[in-house]
Amino acid sequence: MTDLNETTMAGAGGLDGDQTAAPEARDGRGGKPSRHAIVMRGVVTPILGLLAVAAILLGWLNATEWRPSTEVTARMRVTDTRYVVTDPGVLPLVDDAVTLEAKASGRAGQDQQVCAAVGNAKDATGWLAGNPYVRVTGMTDWTTLSSQRASASGQSAPEDGQVAFADSDMWRSVDCGATSATLTLKKATAAEVVLIDLGRKTDATVSMHWTRSSVPDFAMPFFFVAGLLAVLAALTASVFAMPPHKRRKRIVESRTKPVEEVAVGEAIAGSLSGLKTAVSFKPRAKRRRRHAAGAVPADAALREQSQPTIVDPASRNLVADAASAPSEEPAPAADSAAPAPAGGVDDATSVISPAELQSYFARLAQEMGDEDQKGEDR
C-alpha cells in the first residue's frame, strides 16, 4: 500500500518535470517549499492516491471475485399443497433461459407422480379452478423465491371426463417423474407460467435456475473514479501545489485580457475610497481627481504593486523584492495616501533608472487615458 502510494506521488510529481516543479513550489523566501505546497503534496496527494488505489482495487475485485455470478439459482420450500404455479413474468425474471425443478419430499405415492407443465396463465387458472395453490411471486433475494398462498375461483371440475394432468392439450411442454419434475425453457415469455402438480398434498422444494447472459458491470465505475482520482492527485502534486500568485502569472503572460484584471487589493481600495468620499461630502471633486492625469501614476503604481508578476523575474532583484515584501500588505490603504505608493515603487524597482521610470509612466498614462476614454464611451 505504502509503496503504491509513493509511486503515485512520484508519478504525479513527474508530470510537470522535476526541473520546473521544484522551483515553482517554492516561494520567494529562502527557497523552502511553502506551507501550501507541503500540505498539497504531503497530505492531499497521498489521500487522493490512496483513494485511487482503493478504487482500482475495488474495481478489480468487482471484475473478478465479486463479479455478479452468471448462474442464479433461487429456491423455496412449499408445504402442504398439491399445486404450485409461477406468476406471469416470473419465468423470464432473470433471463429467458430458465430451468425449473420441483421435488416432492417424502416417499412417492403408489400411482402419484410429480408433474410440471408450461402453459398460459389463463390455462393454469382454468386448471386450478376451485383448488388452493401456492403462487411463486418472484424473488425475495438472489437465492430465495417468494411465495403466496392463493385459491382459484370457480368450481373444481368433476372427476369423470377429466384428462390426466400430463395429457392436457394446454401445456406447451410437460415433464413428470416419481418424485421430481424438471422443465427447461430456452425462451420463456412473460405470458407463460409453470404449473406444478405434486400429485397429492405434500411438501416440496421448488427451485429455479437461470443463466444470465448479461451481468451488471460494477467494475467500470470504480475504474473511472480511480482514473479521476489519479488525475486529481497529479494536479494536487503539481499545479495546485504552486503558490497562487505563481499560478496567476501564467494567465497574465498569456495576455488574453491583461488590462481587465482587477486585483483584490485594488478592488478593496476602490470600495474603501467610495466609502470615504461618501463621508467627506465631496464626491465629484474626488472622483474627478481619480481620473485626472496626475492621479494616473498612483493607480498604475498600485496595479503594478498588486500584480508583481507582470515584471519579468529575470530582471528583478530578488533580494530587493524580499526586503520590500511586507509592502504588499498595506496596498489597500494606498489610495488614502496617494503619494506614498509612488515611493514604494521607486524602492522596489531601484535597479530601474528614474529616466526609464518617467518614460514608462508617460506611456502608461497615455494608455490609461485611452482606456478611460473607452470606458466612458461604453
- Strands (DSSP E) contained in 46-177 are 71-86, 98-104, 114-120, 132-141, 144-151, 173-177
User: Closest CB to another protein among 121 and 340?
Assistant: 121
Alpha carbon distance 303, 300 (integer Å): 5
**Residue 72 binding another protein, by CB under 8 A:** yes
Sign for the CA dihedral angle at 324, 328, 334, 335 comes to positive
**Residue 187 binding another protein, by CB under 8 A:** no
Among 24, 101, 123, 299, binds another protein (CB under 8 A): 123
User: Closest CB to another protein among 166 and 231?
Assistant: 166
**Residue 104 binding another protein, by CB under 8 A:** no
Question: Do the Cβ atoms of 27 and 34 come closer than 8 Å?
Answer: yes
Which amino acid is it at 313? P
**Residue 93 binding another protein, by CB under 8 A:** yes
**Residue 218 binding another protein, by CB under 8 A:** yes
Residue 139-178 contact track with another protein, rule CB under 8 A, x = bound: x-xx--------------x---xxx---xxxx-x------
**Residue 63 binding another protein, by CB under 8 A:** no
**Residue 221 binding another protein, by CB under 8 A:** no
Among 181, 193, 233, 334, binds another protein (CB under 8 A): 193
Alpha carbon distance 152, 52 (integer Å): 57
- Write the CA distances from 9 to 31, 39, 47, 90, 206, integer angstroms: 21, 13, 10, 52, 56
**Residue 68 binding another protein, by CB under 8 A:** yes
- Angle at the Cα of 263 from the Cα atoms of 261 and 267, rounded to 5 degrees: 110
DSSP string spanning 128-152?
HTT-EEEEEEEEEETTEEEEEEEE-
**Residue 109 binding another protein, by CB under 8 A:** no
Alpha carbon distance 240, 299 (integer Å): 31
Q: Which of residues 314-373 bind another protein (CB under 8 A)?
A: none
**Residue 189 binding another protein, by CB under 8 A:** yes
Q: Report, in Å, the least distance between residue 94 CB and another protein.
A: 6
Size of residue set near another protein by CB under 8 A: 44
Give rounded-to-5 percent helix, strand, coil for the chain.
50, 20, 30
User: Closest CB to another protein among 175 and 192?
Assistant: 192
Which amino acid is it at 211? T
Among 20, 66, 106, 370, binds another protein (CB under 8 A): 66
Among 8, 34, 45, 62, binds another protein (CB under 8 A): 62
Binding residues for another protein, rule: CB under 8 A, are 58, 61-62, 65-66, 68-69, 72, 87-90, 93-94, 120-123, 125-127, 129, 137-139, 141-142, 157, 161-163, 167-170, 172, 189-193, 215-216, 218
